[in-house]
Amino acid sequence: MSDKLIAIVPAAGTGQRAQRPGSDQPPRPKQYRLLRGEPMLRHAVRALLADARVARVLVAVSPGDDMAEPALAGLPRVEVRPCGGPTRAQTVMAALREAAPGPHDWALVHDAARPGLSAQALARLIDTCLAHESGGLLALPVADTVKRAVEADRDSCLLTGGGGVAQAAGFVVQATLDREALWAAQTPQMFPALQLLQALEKAHAANRPITDEASAMELAGCRPRLVPGSVRNFKVTWPEDFELMEKWL
């Protein structure tokens, strides 16, 4: 492959949802919590390095972050950049600018919070995108029945055997969605680097909420290819996810 494949790892989040309510532990960002004795970020970066086609890995952290360098010590082809922004999309945008890609380079964006990426799933994505010369992402067909929720209010009552009992708080079902065509997006997501940067900049300028690279490319008129990911590549998000991920690793 003559054109470079540059991996970008957004690692500037604070992991709010991963904190246990009322926990007396210091709020260390989740990407630095240890799994099998190593920071989650190190697992995620090593997973990318497993494919020799990945030329460099740019890890985008918050300005002033002093945990990334020690967490990644000794790993080859890794550069830490303190260019993290207020949202994931802004972090990725800044990292792409720092990478200064050439016109034919590809970007492979992977969450620091997905340390369970396998070499097989990574190779599947890279092979598919290169073979079709089109962008794509790992994803899984949705397995559960999917509900659209609305906030419960005084009008939404839950009928019990004993009569009507008002459900004062929380959420209620507004509708059940057809899951036939639904896939849950994972990372890595792989796109021509300059096209991705342009798409993210355009979405940002238009104030569109962007939670993954594919959605920016979709807004730009692209149809990213869905490549089967794996259950083990889930995003560590909630307090109980750490224990589960540690078992997989």
Ligand X SMILES: C[C@](O)(CO)[C@H](O)COP(=O)(O)O
Ligand Y SMILES: Nc1ccn([C@@H]2O[C@H](COP(=O)(O)OP(=O)(O)OP(=O)(O)O)[C@@H](O)[C@H]2O)c(=O)n1
Query: By the criterion CB under 6 A, which residues form the site for ligand Y?
Result: 10-18, 31, 60, 84-88, 91, 111-113, 235, 237
Position 111 contacts ligand X (CB under 6 A): yes
Return the range that interacts with ligand X (CB under 6 A); candidates 30-38, 54-62, 179-187, 201-209.
179-187
Q: For the residues of 141-167, what is the DSSP string, one character each? A: E--S-EEEEEE--TT-EEEETTEEEE-
What CA–CA distance (Å, rounded) separates 230 from 143? Answer: 12
Phi-psi region of 94 (alpha: psi -120 to 50; beta: other; left: phi over 0): alpha
Ramachandran angles phi, psi of 28, nearest 5°: -80, 130
Q: At its nearest, how many Å lie between ligand X and the CB of residue 50?
A: 19
84, interface contact from ligand Y, ligand X, none, CB < 5-8 Å by kind: ligand Y
Residues 7-66 binding ligand X (CB under 6 A) are: none
Q: How far is the CB of 226 from ligand Y (least distance, A)?
A: 19
Report the DSSP beta bridge partners of residue 126: none
Binding partner of 134, given ligand X, ligand Y, none, CB within 5-8 angstroms per partner class:
none
- Closer of 158 and 231 to ligand X (Cβ): 231
CA atoms 185, 186, 190, 191: torsion sign: positive
Q: Are 60 and 94 in contact (CB under 8 A)?
A: yes
Rank residues 58 and 185 by Cβ distance to ligand X and give the closer one. 185
Binding site for ligand X (CB under 6 A): 88, 111, 185-187, 211-212, 235
